[in-house]
Amino acid sequence: MQISNVVFLSFAFLLLGGCRTGGVVLRETPSSASEIRRAAVIVIGQPRQMSKDGRELSSAFYDRKSNPVEKMELARERIYTRVSIIGDRRPFDIRVEVLVEGRNRAGQFEQIARDDGRAAVLAEKIKQTLNQSLDNRNVIDDFRSF
């Protein structure tokens, strides 16, 4: 193998490897955007931030033990969950990310890690909540003829 091929393959690997986004993605969820949003709020709590279109929600800050951060000025680290509804129509993909932020020397918070293990647990809870809402739905009563 020539040196130029090795360099090219190395560059391609680094380029494609750097494009990976973190978090867990639930693929092709048949629920509506409002049902997904409702399930996400049940799992992560009342959102701290929500995008204008309601497709990206961020939870309140919490610590490693999932307790709310009481005194932000004393915290050295904080964690939050971001749930994103991806796609313009059904079936939607749902991305769940757990982001860890640490305080830098200037006193500002910056992202230092992702917790994909915790994201997988939260994604499974959202999936279960969506499945329960489908089981509890009454098809006759939910049908609107007008």
DSSP 95-115: EEEEEEEEE-TTS-EEEEEE-
* CB 61, CB 78: distance < 8 Å: yes
CA neighbor of 25 nearest in space, from 36, 12, 10: 36
pLDDT at 19: 43
Q: What's the CATH number where 29 sits?
A: 3.30.530
Task: Count other C-beta atoms under 10 Å from residue 6's C-beta.
Answer: 10
The one-letter amino acid code at 106 reads A
Question: Residue 8: inside a domain, yes or no?
Answer: no
The phi and psi torsions of 28 (rounded to 5 degrees) equal 45, 60
In a domain, 115, yes or no: yes
Percent residues over pLDDT 70 in the chain: 76
pLDDT score of 14: 43
Number of domains in the chain: 1
Residue 119 has pLDDT above 50, yes or no: yes
Residue (of 145, 135, 123) closest to 23 by Cα position: 123
Residue 11 lies in a domain: no
- Confidence (pLDDT) at 79: 96
Q: Determine how β-strand 92-103 pairs with β-strand 77-86.
A: antiparallel
Q: Between the CA of residue 19 and those of 15, 16, 75, 89, what are the distances in Å?
A: 7, 5, 31, 24
Q: What angle do CA 64, 65, 68 make, to 5 degrees?
A: 90
pLDDT digits (tens, 9 = 90+) for 78-109: 999 999 999 988 899 999 999 999 999 998 99
For 24-49, what is each residue's pLDDT tens digit? 999 999 999 999 999 999 999 999 99
Inside any domain, residue 76: yes
Q: Is 28 left (phi over 0), alpha (psi -120 to 50) or beta?
A: left
State the residue for tokens 């959102």: 47
Residue 70 lies in domain: 20-142
Q: What is the average pLDDT across 69-83?
A: 91
pLDDT, residue 15, reads 42
Q: Is residue 7 part of a domain?
A: no
In a domain, 45, yes or no: yes
